[in-house]
Structure 1
């Protein structure tokens, strides 16, 4: 078996899982889709597991893995996330129980009117979990990553400067608002981070989880939806139409897009080979709310 990581490191991680140790045969298959880390399906002793190995940019993107582990333990206990079999600290390598008979959501399913209420309901479940110590602050991430990008000399997209000014205004406006009560958030509810078996929606990839603004979670879904989809998301989550909440979603979508653009620029050095992160960053600007799709430019 030849893996695109250090074989000795992988074997060391697997050797810490009692259900795998001593197996006569271990079958490992690389799972596609990760843009930061690498994931493997491991089959041994009749069990199936997913091993996640942190990528080169892992320590840059996430500085405290204890927050992720705490969030996953909460979510696992509530039936929202798969069972955590092993979580190494401080590295963040992880082994979870493989969820058989589930599939990641396609973009088409994720953005459908049938799925949006289910997504909203799952976010409510997450946001109702007991608090943890670690926090998530997208504005702090953006500033910290911009410093790293500056040191690396990474070029910026032409449209980033204007977006950063917009996000600074949003931060000033939202920070004093008392309705921004911190709850436990996933903070990366990307369509591939939902696994569905037709009845239950499971959430994976909790590395950015932490106490934060619930509207960021909603905007992380809403930024790929059309205007009607965004309306439905807010109505489903808050149990009715609420123009003020809808405006808050539009504003936070700008923050989500900015966070993802800067994340992509970090990934141009040390990300997954063969993926064009700069092109991906450029494409994100087209998802920004505009007066034409229902939100003012401020």
Structure 2
């Protein structure tokens, strides 16, 4: 176990929110931004998420807390148990995370899409206080600036990627704003006994619905027929050519954001994860999607 995890466990044990003197603590898998722990406190279990603000990624913990509370109030996410600077304690739900192939099942995809629609409709209404906007094209411009300023190994790629991003932004066109999750990895969707749960709101913010839909599709490598099913489920009608053009552009932007997120993380992150390999994988997937979009 790494020194970082050992330190996190010691901090978790010292939190003032436990009913028992010696709660059982173990590291949870997943997560390439934060350290996540499971705490068994008597009969109840919790997740402790450690994470400071990450300005280079637009992650601000006041924002994560506000959205976590709103999502919990709507029954979409587990409840918030305790908060202090750099620490968020949530109710633990006994629910395995989905993986990409799970979303290739039509019933599961429909259920997940309905969860996304509920998020956009209900969490948007439940929010209180200041909340960030997540506009992927601003994020991409900011990432490019950060990478230049910090001497990234990927600087030579940035001019071309920025030009492509600008063209994609024009192709997306006008948008409707909803509260988006903005990090729809299948691992952030949990299958409970009687519902799906959506977790991890650190990138949450107002955005186009198409970003979450495109992100889900790319992260799960959905085939074209599954994408159409997802869009029909979300919008209640078959997607027309205009929607498909906007959606396709946002899907490309989602992959480019994941690529440049990883480029930045190569420089900044202390988490034990192979960001360089993750960058190359996502860059290849972005280039493939971008080529198909323009074919």
TM-score relative to the length of structure 2: 0.87
Aligned to 1:207: 202
1:147 aligns with 2:145: yes
Larger helix proportion of the pair? 2
Please report how far the alpha carbon of residue 174 of structure 1 lies from its aligned counterpart in structure 2 after TM superposition: 3.5
For 2:21 and 2:65, how far apart are their aligned partners in 1? Answer: 30
The structure-2 alpha-carbon separation of the partners of 1:104 and 1:63, relative to structure 1 and needing over 3 Å to count, comes to closer
1:162 deviates by 3.4
Distance 1:209 1:291, change over 3 A: closer
Structure 2, unaligned runs of 5 or more? none
SS of aligned partner of 2:26: strand
CA RMSD of superposed structures (Å): 2.5
1:1-298 mapped onto 2 (5 Å cutoff): 4-5=3-4, 11-12=10-11, 14-18=13-17, 20=18, 23-54=20-51, 58-89=54-85, 91=86, 93-100=87-94, 102-129=95-122, 130=125, 131=127, 133-134=130-131, 135-156=133-154, 161-174=159-172, 177=174, 180-223=175-218, 224-243=221-240, 244-271=242-269, 273-288=271-286, 290=289, 295-296=293-294
> 1:139-174 CA distances to partner (integer Å, 9 max, x unpaired)?
222222222222221111876643432211122344
Question: 3-state DSSP class of the match of 1:114?
Answer: helix
Instruction: Write the distance in 2 (CA, Å) between the matches of 1:291 and 1:69.
Output: 35
TM-score (norm 1): 0.86
The answer as to whether partners of 1:41 and 1:51 remain within 8 angstroms in 2 is: yes
Determine the C-alpha separation between the residues in 2 that align with 1:280 and 1:112.
26
Cα pair distance change 1:52/1:217, threshold 3 Å: same
Q: Take 2:102 and 2:136, find their aligned partners in 1: how far apart are those partners?
A: 27
**1:63 and 1:98, CA in 2 relative to 1: closer, same or farther beyond 3 A?**
closer
Distance 1:94 1:273, change over 3 A: closer
Instruction: String of CA shifts for 1:192-239, please: whole Å, max 9, x gaps.
Output: 001102531101110010111111111111122121221111111111
The Cα of 1:273 is off from its aligned counterpart by 4.6
Tell me, yes or no, if the aligned pair for 2:262 and 2:278 is still in contact at 8 Å.
yes
